[in-house]
Amino acid sequence: MPAPCYLCGKESVVDGLCIDCYRKEYPLVELPDRLEMTVCKRCGAVKIPGGWKQLPITVVEPDDVRQHQLKILLDSAISQTIKTYEVGYTSVVARDRVINVTIDVYGSSHVQVPKKSEVHEVEVRVNYGICNSCSSLSGGYYEAILQIRADNRPVTEREEDQISEIVEHMTIQEHPKDVHAFVSGISRDKYGIDFWIGSEHLCRKIADEIQSQFLASRKENYKLVGQEKGGRDKFRVTIMLRLPQYTVGDFIIVVGRPCQVDAMGKSGLTCYDLKDRSQFTVHQKSSKWQTIQFMAPSSSKRRFMILSRAYGQPVQLMDSESFEMIEMDSEIINDSYQAGDTIEVIFFDEFGHLPVSR
């Protein structure tokens, strides 16, 4: 027969205690009646033992912000023997910056003790401060500079928009994991765009992505800026990415063939052969890559009207602006284009006039 509970005399179940006494001695969670919560007034991060914890990137609504802040605080404060609990707050007294929180817990603190529910009331007092990340950002802190340039041409507005989107997306992704994952400055001039980035690790990740997507060349420079606490030299890195002279829509020569750039990205350069009207991809590691030459920008195209087209005869065309008349081999013009249609044409000394419209 089991020994009696040493507290109340009932039949003991676990460690000399009955179920009721065991639950009183070992609650599911242990939590003080009052907690202090310090939040960053700029980004909403919560200060917990060990540093500041950032909010998830998906949090945008004010109610969600407060709910996540409370969850961060309580996760840090709760001494728990189980992991199943729900958190919800019942009221906010803005004048006194006080939140009354009701915590509902369900589970068991021992396999021999049936599951039960517990309700804890906690008063949370909110204080405001500035987290390390926002403090560094406001001070213009940066560990690396990312420079974007283009070969023998300015960086286009379209490229700037795409690159800025990459920087923004990757910074948001990294910020919860890296307190210095921010952009402290951006500058634009006739040469390109520069980003001052708080985290060297983030700068390298962004540079890798842009280099891959835009098939850019890369150079890195280091500048001594001081010493760390241990006496080691501290360097600041500048990563310069140079975009190719050509971009989507421009014209290049590949293995002696006139082509138009259809797309560029991680899989390589997708080209359209202007002579045989075929499409192919060139990879950076292939032998074809070394043969690429820039011919002309997309703006070099001219519009022509087809005046006549007859079987076995050259196609006659007229420039829509200068009214210049030219003839072109009918085999290189798509059969769908007939007299009266307008097509785009580009001229090269070594290849003559070539149709761009497909």
- 142-160, pLDDT tens digit by residue? 899 999 999 999 999 999 9
**Confidence bin at 186 (pLDDT 50/70/90):** very high
Q: State the average pLDDT over residues 78-89.
A: 64
**Structural domains in the chain plus CATH codes:** 19-131 (no CATH), 140-243 (no CATH), 246-296 (2.30.30), 301-358 (2.40.50.140)
d(CA 268, CA 215): 7
Say which residues have a Cβ less than 8 Å from residue 199's Cβ, sequence separation at least 6.
143, 144, 174, 178, 180, 181, 182
* Mean of pLDDT over the chain: 87
d(CA 239, CA 216): 12
Predicted pLDDT at 139: 81
Q: How far apart are the first and last CA of the chain?
A: 93
Structure tokens at 251: 């014209």
Higher pLDDT, 133 or 289: 289
Evaluate if pTM is beyond 0.85.
no
Q: Report the range of poorest mean pLDDT among 174-188, 200-214, 255-269, 331-345.
A: 174-188
Q: State the average pLDDT over residues 300-309.
A: 94
d(CA 241, CA 207): 7
**Confidence bin at 341 (pLDDT 50/70/90):** very high
- Which own/partner contact pairs does 337-343 have at CB distance under 8 Å and 24+ positions apart? 337/306, 337/309, 338/306, 338/309, 339/306, 339/307, 339/308, 339/309, 340/305, 340/306, 341/305, 341/306, 342/303, 342/304, 342/305, 342/306, 343/303, 343/304, 343/306, 343/317
Checking if the pLDDT of 226 tops 80, the result is no
Q: Report the range of poorest mean pLDDT among 4-18, 97-111, 118-132, 312-326.
A: 97-111
Q: How many residues does the chain have?
A: 358
Predicted pLDDT at 311: 85
pLDDT winner (highest mean) among 20-34, 118-132, 262-276: 262-276
